[in-house]
Structure 1
Amino acid sequence: MSRIGAWLLGALLMTQAAQADMQPLDRIVAVVNDGVIMDSELDARVNDIAAQFRADNRPLPPLDVMREQVLDRMILERVQLQMAERGGIRVDDAALNQALEGIARQNNMTLPQFSERLRGEGYDWSQFREQIRNEMVISRLQQRSVASRIRVTDREVERFLQSETGKRMFQADFHLGHILVKVPGGATPEQVRAAKQKADDLVGRLRGGADFAETAVAESDGSEALEGGDLGWREAAQWPSLFADAAIDMQKGDISEPLRSGAGFHILKMIDRRGGGERLVTQYKVRHVLVRPDTLTTEEQARQEIDRLHDQVASGELTFAQAAEQSSDDPGSARAGGELGWVAPGEMVPEFEQMMQETPKGQLSPTFQTQFGWHFLQVEDVRETDMSDRYRDLQARQALQKRRFDEELQTWLQEQRAEAYVDIRLNPDS
C-alpha cells in the first residue's frame, strides 16, 4: 500500500508540474461577427503565402506587415462566407472536384497528379480543397449580390463604341500594377489629406526607382497587395473607367498620379501593354442539356438527373437532341435539340465557357454546374472568324459590365466590412 501511495503522490506531483509548464497552443486573433479566426489559421495562411514568395524568388515583407495584410484578407473572406451561409449558397463536392480538375488541366496534370504535386511542395491537400471551395462560394455570393444589380443598355453600348475613348480602348490590352491607400468611410478632411500625402510620397519613391511589387506588399491596402499589386492582363475597355482613362496614354513602366475614388487613392503602374489591329475570334457551335433545381427539385436530385441523362446519351440509349427536347430546362434551346448556335468568348457564364473550350469537338463533356443549374454539352464545330460588329457590341457590353462590377464590388466589400463586428486581437496582450 505504501508503494502504491508513493506512486500516486509522484503521479500527482508530475501532473501538477506538467500543468504548471503548459502553455496555450492557440489563441483568437480576430472575432468576426459570431465567428473567430485562430492564430493557427493565420499562421497556416501566412506560411502558404511565404512559400509562394520563396518559390517566386521575391523578398519576404516584414512578418508583422504580412500578418496584418493576411488577417485583413481573412476577415473579409470570413464576412462573405458568413453571408453566403445565411443565404444558402454552397458548393458541393461534385462541383468542387470539377473545379479542381479544371485547375489540374490548366497545369497539364490529372487531378491525382496535381494533388500529389501540391503535397510534395508541402501543402495540405484537404486545406487547399476547402480554400478553393470557399473561393467558389464567395464568387457566387458576389455574383448574386453585385452582378445581378448591374444593367447595361443598348444605348450605353452604342455611345461607348462611338466615343473616341471606346475606339482607342479596343486597340490595346493593359497589364497593370496597383497600390491602394485606403480612405475609411466618413473620413475627416485630415484623414483624406494624410492619405493623399502618403500616396504622393509613394509615387515619388516609385518614380525614384523603388520596386513596385515590394512597395505594394509593404504599403498597399488593396486585396492583391500580397501578389505585389499585380492585377494581370485585361482588354483596356474592361478596366474600371478610373483606371482605363488614366492608363490609356501610359507607356510601359509609367507610374500614374494618385487617382481618387470612394475607396481611397490608387497608384497604377503600366507593367506592359499590347494590342492593336484586327483579332481572330474562336467560335464554338455548341448544344447543351440543363436540369435546374427548383422548389420541387433539390440540388442533389438535379445532379442525379443530369448524370442519368448524360449516361443515357453516352450509351446511345438517347440521342442528344432527344435528351434536350424531353428533359432540358432551357426552353429556348430544348425545342431545337439543345442547340445554342455559334458562341463566342464572353457570351456564356465562366463555368460554361471553360467547359466549352476544354471539351474536344464531337465529344460529350462531363456534367458541370453553373448558377443556372446542372449541364452537359457537346461542341459540334469550331471556327476562327474576324471580329465582327456583333462581337464588338458583345465585347463592349462585357467591358462595361466588368467595369461596373469591379467598381460596385469594391464599394460593396467596404460596406460589408464596415457593417460587420470585427475585434482584432493580433497583440497577445490585448
Structure 2
Amino acid sequence: MNNGTLPASRSTLHTRPLRGLLMIVALCLPLLGQAKVEMLDRIVAVVNDGAIMASELDERINMIALQFQEKGQQLPPPAIMREQVLDRMILERLQLQLAKRGGIKVDEASLNQALAGIARQNNMTLEGFADALQQDGYDWPQFREQIREDMIISRLQQRSVASRIRVTDREVNRFLESEMGKQMFEEDFHLGHILVRVPAGASPEEVQAATSKTNDIETRLKQGEDFNQLATSLSDGPKALEGGDLGWRPAAQWPTLFSEAALGLEKGEISAPIRSGAGFHILKMMDRRGGAEKVVTQYQVRHILIKSDALTSSEQAQQQATRLHDEIADGSANFATLAAEYSDDPGSARNGGELGWVSRGEMVPEFEEMMLNTPQGELSPVFETQFGWHFLRVDAMRDADMSEEFRRMQAMQALQKRRFEEELETWVQEQRSEAYVDIRL
C-alpha cells in the first residue's frame, strides 16, 4: 500500500461520600435526586435537535477549573468562563451530531488502544493511568467518553476536510525552492493565539465592533498585560481556555497567515492583528527553536484490510477482519499467509501484508494512531478507516537519517497540514452558521 492508498477532559470533580451514609443516600436518591434534577437542571443551549443542560455545563466548568488549579493558573471571571465553555460545547455537540449522521463511530477496542497510548506517554500502565486520574479528581468513565468524542470529531474533520485537500508535486517543488520554504524548514515555532471572531455575513456594525475589540486587546498587550490571561478571557479561538497556547509545530506547518506573520517575530514578541475569513488574529511568539530533526523514527508495519462492497456489508467486513485477527492471535494461522489470501490491499497482500518502513504522516490518521499506539510485535485491535476494516502489527522500529525523499514528504505534509488548518476553520464556521443554535444562558 503506498501513500496514495493510505494518505495522510472533561469530567466532574469526584466526591467521596462517607461510607456510613451510603445506605441512607441510596434509599433517598430515587426521590431526592429526581426532585433536584427537575427543580434545578435546565437547558442552557439548543443545538439543532439536541440540548445542552446546565448540569453538563457545570461539569465541564468544574473539569476546566481543576485543570487551571493543577497548572496554577488564574481562572477567568465566572461569566466569561461559562460563555467560553458553552461555545466550545456547542461546536463539539454540532460536530458529534454530524458524525452520528455520517455513521462515524469509535469502538471499544480502538478507544482502549488510544487510552493505552496516552498512558504510555505518561510512563504508566492503563490501570495506573486510570487510578492517577481518579486520585486527581477525574471521573474515569467520563474521561473515556471525552476521548471517544475527541476521536469521533477528529475522524469527522478528516472525512469532511482532509479528503478535499490535494497537493501536487509541482507545488511541493515550488515550496522547497522558495526562500520562504527553505527558511520555514529551519525552525519550529511555539505560538500563542487570540482570535476575535467575525461571523459569516457579518454586518458593518459587527465588523466594526470586532475591530474595536481587537484594537483594545492589542493596546492592552502593548501595555504589558498577560497574553495568556487575555486569551483565556477574550479570545474566541479553540484554545482560549488553554491561554491561547497552540503548542510547537514546524514553521512550515502553520497556516500561511500565521507562518508569514511569525517569521519575523522574536521570542516574546506579538504580531499586529491579522485578518482572515474567521476574524482577527493576534499571535505571540512563545518560543522558537532551530532546525527540523535530522533523524526520524520509522515503523516496519504489516496489515490486513477487509473492504465492504455491494456483496459485503461493513458489519460482515468487520466480522471477517475480527476472525482473521483472532486466528493470528491464538497462533492457529500465520499473518503473512492470511494477508496474501484475504487482504483487499493488493499492493501489500502479495508481500504478506508488508507495508515497508513507514514514517509519521504517511498514513491516514486512524491508521497512524493505531500504528503509534501498538507495542512492537503485538497485534492491534481491529479498527476502521475510510478504506475499510484493518488490523496491523509493528514488526520493527528504526531511526533513519533525513533524506531528500523524507524532506519532500515533510514538505507535502506541511502543505497539507497548512491547508487543512485553513479549510477546517472555514468549515467549522460554515457548520455553525448553518446550524440552529439557541443560547439560553
> What is the TM-score when the length of structure 1 is the normalising length?
0.89
Residue 367 of structure 1 pairs with residue 381 of structure 2: yes
Distance 1:22 1:292 in 2: 46
- Counterpart for residue 86 of structure 2: 71
Which runs of structure 1 show a deviation greater than 6 angstroms over 4 or more consecutive aligned residues? Answer: 20-23
| Structure 1 contact 355–365 (Cα < 8 Å) conserved | no
List gaps (5 residues or longer) in structure 2.
Answer: 1-34
Residue 400 of structure 1 pairs with residue 415 of structure 2: yes
Instruction: Give the CA deviation at 1:286.
Output: 2.2
- Counterpart for residue 417 of structure 1: 432
Residue 62 of structure 1 pairs with residue 87 of structure 2: no
Would the alpha carbon gap of residues 27 and 60 (structure 1) be closer, same or farther in structure 2, given more than 3 Å must change? same
- Number of aligned residue pairs: 406
Distance 1:407 1:322 in 2: 44
- Counterpart for residue 99 of structure 2: 84
Could you say what secondary structure the match of 2:264 adopts?
Answer: coil
Matched to 2:339, the amino acid is: A
Matched to 2:118, the amino acid is: I
Q: Could you tell which deviates more after superposition, 125-134 or 215-224?
A: 125-134
Q: Which digits, 9 at most, give the CA deviation of each residue in 1:125-176, with x for residues without a partner?
A: 2222222221111111111111111111111111111111111100011110
Could you say what secondary structure the match of 1:305 adopts?
Answer: helix
Q: Could you tell which deviates more after superposition, 233-242 or 79-88?
A: 79-88
* Higher-Rg member (1/2): 1
Would the alpha carbon gap of residues 298 and 107 (structure 1) be closer, same or farther in structure 2, given more than 3 Å must change? farther
Distance 2:430 2:411 in 1: 29
- Counterpart for residue 219 of structure 2: 204
Instruction: Give the CA deviation at 1:312.
Output: 2.6
Distance 2:36 2:168 in 1: 68
Residue 351 of structure 1 pairs with residue 366 of structure 2: yes
- Counterpart for residue 215 of structure 1: 230
| Structure 2 contact 109–381 (Cα < 8 Å) conserved | no
Instruction: Give the CA deviation at 1:23.
Output: 7.6
Would the alpha carbon gap of residues 350 and 275 (structure 1) be closer, same or farther in structure 2, given more than 3 Å must change? farther
> What is the TM-score when the length of structure 2 is the normalising length?
0.87
Would the alpha carbon gap of residues 354 and 81 (structure 1) be closer, same or farther in structure 2, given more than 3 Å must change? closer
Instruction: Give the CA deviation at 1:80.
Output: 1.1
Instruction: Give the CA deviation at 1:115.
Output: 1.9
Could you say what secondary structure the match of 2:220 adopts?
Answer: helix
Could you say what secondary structure the match of 1:199 adopts?
Answer: helix
- Counterpart for residue 43 of structure 1: 58
Percent identity over the alignment? Answer: 66
Matched to 1:65, the amino acid is: I
Distance 2:277 2:427 in 1: 11
List gaps (5 residues or longer) in structure 1.
Answer: 1-19
- Counterpart for residue 13 of structure 1: none
Q: Which has the higher contact order (CA 8 A, sep 6+)?
A: 2
Instruction: Give the CA deviation at 1:337.
Output: 1.1
Matched to 2:62, the amino acid is: N
- Counterpart for residue 279 of structure 1: 294
Distance 1:87 1:28 in 2: 26
Residue 243 of structure 1 pairs with residue 226 of structure 2: no
Q: Could you tell which deviates more after superposition, 209-218 or 191-200?
A: 191-200
Could you say what secondary structure the match of 1:384 adopts?
Answer: strand
| Structure 2 contact 113–374 (Cα < 8 Å) conserved | no
Residue 181 of structure 1 pairs with residue 230 of structure 2: no
- Of 139, 150, 153, the residue aligned with 1:135 is 150
